[in-house]
């Protein structure tokens, strides 16, 4: 799964978040900031992370969430990291 596919899936998740204005999802890029560009409350990032875990069948570590930045690329990086960790665990 490449970054573009992950971004598309992430936008699908964001469409289900009631505090995210659907109009703000039209031009989302990896540089889009959840808080400044989408006016997403920081507390909502936890909800987004939980929905992303379900959508992409991954599990984030607590420290991953603690270190999560507020840009879309940060979430994409986290998904890639979690997927790699999951594949590694399944391989062992």
Residue 38 DSSP class? S
For residue 91, the tally of other CB atoms under 10 A from its CB is 6
Cα separation of 35 and 25, whole Å?
A: 13
Residue 68 maps to which CATH number?
1.10.1200.10
What is the per-residue pLDDT across 49-91, written as a single tens digit (0 to 9) for each? Answer: 999 999 999 999 989 888 889 999 999 999 999 999 988 888 8
Residues of 1-25 as b/e, b for ≥16 C-beta within 10 angstroms? eeeeebbebbeebbeebeebeeeeb
pLDDT at position 87:
85
pLDDT for the residue numbered 52:
96
Rounded distance between C-alpha atoms, residue 8 and residue 11, angstroms:
5
50-59: pLDDT as tens digits: 999 999 999 9
Supply the range of the domain harboring residue 9. Answer: 3-91
Q: pLDDT at residue 32 above 70?
A: yes
| Counted domains in the chain | 1
The pTM score is 0.91
Q: What is the average pLDDT value for the chain, to the nearest integer?
A: 93
């Amino acid at each position: 799964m490449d970054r573009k596919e992950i971004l598309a899936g992430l936008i699908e998740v964001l469409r289900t978040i009631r505090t995210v204005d659907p109009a703000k999802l039209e031009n989302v890029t990896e540089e889009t900031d959840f808080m400044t560009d989408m006016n997403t409350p920081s507390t909502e990032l936890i909800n987004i992370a939980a929905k992303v875990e379900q959508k992409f069948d991954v599990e984030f570590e607590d420290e991953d969430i603690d270190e999560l930045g507020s840009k879309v690329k940060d979430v994409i990086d986290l998904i890639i990291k979690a997927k790699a960790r999951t594949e590694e665990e399944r391989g062992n």
